[in-house]
Structure 1
């Protein structure tokens, strides 16, 4: 555990989910592989363009509508819909295909087990302080078994702009009715979590389980208050 500033008393905590409470990288890799396989099987025309074409379309759509950055489910649906239109589908065909794919994605997105150690840490913390989840992702928190630990769950899209925007940090503070400086936000990302928390008045805990250096990371614009390598180190606070 490394301290970069003296912590104010912690009266509540907010948590990022993906790559903070569990390793989300293999989940997304499997989701991408299986979702693409499903799309190519049921709509072979989608395979006439490579991954680079689909990625370029995805980024183009987000440049045209910045809101898509804050709603990953809508972004995926819009990309599939618009891509299939460009490849010759009618609007009805493209919309139905995108709807069907998203049903598959929803199943794959939350089909994993959270480590037992995460459950143990959250259970102990939730017994002492109110906890809030603030995520830019679209995982089903109830399905992965974490919903009971949180008093409030905020998701980018349905609950406002994605972190580091102020929307969800402000909603968390209003729900907790605590001064912002007494809320510790825990997350793995130096921009969305650390900078987002600090720029919105929260204290910030960076979970660095990849052995990185905050002073050499390109996404680091402000130091966290505290840095940990394992989630269970939070119990020392």
Structure 2
């Protein structure tokens, strides 16, 4: 097991969904808002897909049918709405305003209680870069001031755990990968990807799961962002 060397840390890269906020309550609420909108603007689609669960099922179906969209969650969601409209006999052009409604709601995240203090702590000491496979926008979320840059798989064209997105994050931060600490909740996407890129890693393990991968372990494991602040202080 590695031991975190805080003296080497010159920059931070950090995941967004499930690291700074819980993602699924946000997605579920956005899907519920979308379902309500469909009742008024596309009633046939609303009858076929009346709730968050049914809307998520067609999105999962489109993911299987359109694997080329897997790195672009916005396009995946837009196309799933378009498919639901078309199959129900409603106007597929409604997919654009429907997606914009969904996307706006998707940005209304509820930060973990210790996230804001942690971002303020990190940004006061290091350049911070977001690296995400999701489609949250740090500026629309309201935390853009803490970040030097933000990389998403859909804009960069490469997703975690590919080392290239981590190397790009380090470059945006202005440091070599070996001087960067990556923080994230996903053992494979965040920890293994960042380790392969030559970074130090901090695994945010709120549910205290066992480490189940055979690969090298993270340099630090924390159950909260507040605990991470203590380690870095």
Q: Which runs of 5+ in 2 are unaligned?
A: none
Could you tell me whether the CA contact under 8 Å between 1:113 and 1:144 is conserved in 2? no
Is 1:107 the counterpart of 2:104 in the alignment? Answer: yes
The 5 Å alignment of 1:121-132 reads 121-132=118-129
Is 1:198 the counterpart of 2:192 in the alignment? Answer: no
> 2:133 maps to what in 1?
136
> 1:233 maps to what in 2?
227
Tell me which protein shows more helix as a share of its residues.
2
Q: What value does the CA root-mean-square deviation take over the aligned residues?
A: 2.3
**How far apart are the structure 2 equivalents of 1:110 and 1:148?**
16
Q: Which runs of 5+ in 1 are unaligned?
A: none
CA deviation vs aligned residue, 1:197-219 (integer Å, no higher than 9, x gap): 1222222211011122223xxxx
> 2:23 maps to what in 1?
24
The 5 Å alignment of 1:1-237 reads 4-8=1-5, 9-49=8-48, 55=56, 57-89=58-90, 93-94=91-92, 96-115=93-112, 117-215=114-212, 220=213, 222=215, 223-235=217-229, 236-237=231-232
Shift of the alpha carbon at 1:58?
Answer: 3.2
| Cα distance, 1:144–1:80 mapped onto 2, change above 3 Å | closer
Could you tell me whether the CA contact under 8 Å between 2:148 and 2:173 is conserved in 1? no
**How far apart are the structure 2 equivalents of 1:212 and 1:12?**
27
Could you tell me whether the CA contact under 8 Å between 2:149 and 2:173 is conserved in 1? no
**How far apart are the structure 2 equivalents of 1:202 and 1:64?**
35
Shift of the alpha carbon at 1:29?
Answer: 1.9
Could you tell me whether the CA contact under 8 Å between 1:169 and 1:200 is conserved in 2? yes
| Cα distance, 1:118–1:60 mapped onto 2, change above 3 Å | closer
3-state SS of 2:16 partner: coil
| Cα distance, 1:182–1:29 mapped onto 2, change above 3 Å | same
TM-score by length of 1: 0.84
CA deviation vs aligned residue, 1:168-227 (integer Å, no higher than 9, x gap): 212112223422122111111112211221222222211011122223xxxx45322211
3-state SS of 1:139 partner: coil
Shift of the alpha carbon at 1:153?
Answer: 0.8
